[in-house]
Amino acid sequence: MNPVILKLQKLIGLTKSEITIAMFIIAGLAAGAIIKSFSKGEQIYYSDISGEIYRQLDSTAEAYRSTLTGSDIYGKPDSKLASADTIVEKESLFPKSNKKSLSTEININVASVSELTKLPGIGLATAEKIISYRKEAQFEKPEDIMNIKGIGPKKFEKMKEFIIVK
């Protein structure tokens, strides 16, 4: 056994394992101090990071402002344009609703899985159920889609204007 460890055990009253752990901790702290004193890397402070975040937000707000008609970056009307009544509400980049909207009707007797999933309330699993159902029997009227498990009257009401049967 190492005579230094034996002397430390008697002096401090710690076990061999405790002394070994303490020596590792001390060695790690010493190595960290040496590395820190020799490193010449740039230190990053939180104030620098927050300043950069604010600069990015300001530049984004300025770019967004330039895409709006008649308002500043805070959404306040521009006085020159407001007096001329030229403030126009633009389409939002972030719509409030994510409802599915269709421009055409879908024939549920021939539609593909991707077409069926465009219907409100229809996901991949339900679209596959519709295709399985129509392999056995064609849909005679739009209301027949309620024969599919998972499509009830409420869901049918949301999609009926988009469904056709030919």
State the fold for domain 106-164: DNA polymerase; domain 1 (1.10.150)
145 strand-pairing partners:
none
pLDDT along the chain (166 residues), means of 10: 74 79 89 77 61 75 58 63 54 52 81 88 90 91 92 91 90
Task: Locate the domains of the chain by residue range.
Answer: 3-37, 64-95, 106-164
Torsion of CA 55, 61, 65, 68, to 10 degrees: 160
Q: Is 152 helix (H, G, I), strand (E, B) or coil?
A: coil
In the block, tokens 């076990």 appear at 15
In the block, tokens 């056709």 appear at 164
Residue 17's pLDDT is 82
What does the buried/exposed string (b/e) look like for 79-92 if buried means 16 or more CB atoms within 10 Å of the residue's CB? eeeeeeeeeeeeee
Residue 157's pLDDT is 92
Q: What is the pTM of this model?
A: 0.41
